[in-house]
Amino acid sequence: MAMGVRIDRLASLYIARPLLRRREQSARIPILMYHSVADEEETGVHAYYRTVTTPLVFARQMSYLHDNGYSAFGLGELGSGIERQGDSTKCVVITFDDGYRDFYVHAFPILEKHGFSATVFLPTNFVGNKPLRFRNKYCLTWNQVRELKKWGVSFGSHTVTHPQLHDVDARSMHDEIVVSKQRIEQELGNIVESFAYPFAFPENDMNFKCRLRESLQLAGYKNGVCTSIGRVDSNADHFFMKRLPVNSCDDPCLFEAKLDGAYDWVSYPQHLLKMAKQWAR
């Protein structure tokens, strides 16, 4: 698969990882961010921005986690996971954004084989009683969601229409956060505690983060994840926890490096790029 030069991979494997081995590591847990698990080619998209993982690659990644002693935790269990993280206990959180049907078809059977749990974040406008399409891909139906719930899959909100919340008015943001939560709770009959922020997270806008955190708390959420890169520790903001994006271009060495923390450095240029874009507005 032609990927071009991956500076993030080279820097992670040959600079960050050797430096990482020289210093003591704190207990940090990787939250993996998947989107689609399907046999599709993302032509014209740089490897860093791809969101599709083939079933074969996903199976290899889950096998790696299983064979290397990882336990899959839910987002609400991160506190105990951080306490247990060590040489004998390795913890990981597995998440999927967008609620695509291929989770039901391809990803879940692989997760079930290895005894792993996962959290799927649903944009509720695209989940219906019959298959609906989001970004030219079919999403889960409510019957499939209910079936997956019986098998231990957790579900959280990914808003109603998947907007960039930073760019909508206060009323729209409230509706995206609250109505999506209410719809999932109505369909599944349980409390929804987790939220995933769509698109690039505007981490530099502190006023917006305060408003969003307050909105999430008032709506009854207990935790949340975003698209900022990194792993989480006991000091992480539980409403905006960082994650590690994964796709088909993550070869075994890079996947292992991400789990070990050698990819966390990407958060710094990511942060600087967001600041530059904010200043340019």
Q: What is the dihedral of CA 71, 188, 200, 259, to 10 degrees?
A: 0
Q: Region 231-251: what's the mean pLDDT?
A: 94
- What is the predicted pLDDT for the residue at 79? 63
Q: Is the dihedral of CA 199, 197, 176, 214 positive or negative?
A: negative
pLDDT higher than 80, residue 208 = yes
Could you give the CA distance from residue 84 to residue 16 in angstroms, rounded to a whole number?
25
The pTM of this model reads: 0.93
CATH numbers and ranges of domains, the chain:
27-280 (3.20.20.370)
- State yes or no: pLDDT of 88 exceeds 60: no
Arithmetic mean of pLDDT, 4-22: 86
Quick one: pLDDT band at residue 2, thresholds 50, 70, 90?
A: very low
The whole-number average pLDDT for the span 233-239 is: 91
pLDDT average, residue stretch 220-232: 96
pLDDT for the residue 117: 94
Q: Whole-number mean pLDDT of the chain?
A: 91
pLDDT band of residue 24 (cuts 50, 70, 90) is low
Q: What pairing do the DSSP bridges indicate for beta strands 137-138 and 154-157?
A: unpaired
**Residue 65: which of 48, 97, 89 has the closest Cα?**
89
Q: Residue 161 CB: number of other CB atoms within 10 A?
A: 17
Closest to 249 in 3D by CA, of 20, 23, 50? 50
For residue 212, the surrounding DSSP H or E stretch is helix 206-219
Name the 3-class secondary structure at 278: helix
Measured distance CA(139)–CA(188) in Å, rounded: 17
Share of the chain above pLDDT 70, in %: 90
User: Per the structure block, which two tokens stand in for 10?
Assistant: 């080279």
What pLDDT was estimated at residue 80? 61
User: For position 277, what pLDDT does the model report?
Assistant: 67
Q: For residue 19, is pLDDT > 90?
A: no
Instruction: Give the pLDDT confidence of 33-80 residue by residue, as tens digits.
Output: 999 999 998 988 989 999 999 999 999 999 999 999 999 999 988 766
pLDDT tens by residue, 166-190: 999 999 999 999 999 999 999 999 9
DSSP per residue over 125-169, as a string?
Answer: GG-BSS--EETTEEBPBHHHHHHHHHTT-EEEE--SS---GGGS-
Judge contact between 132 and 139, C-beta under 8 A. Answer: yes
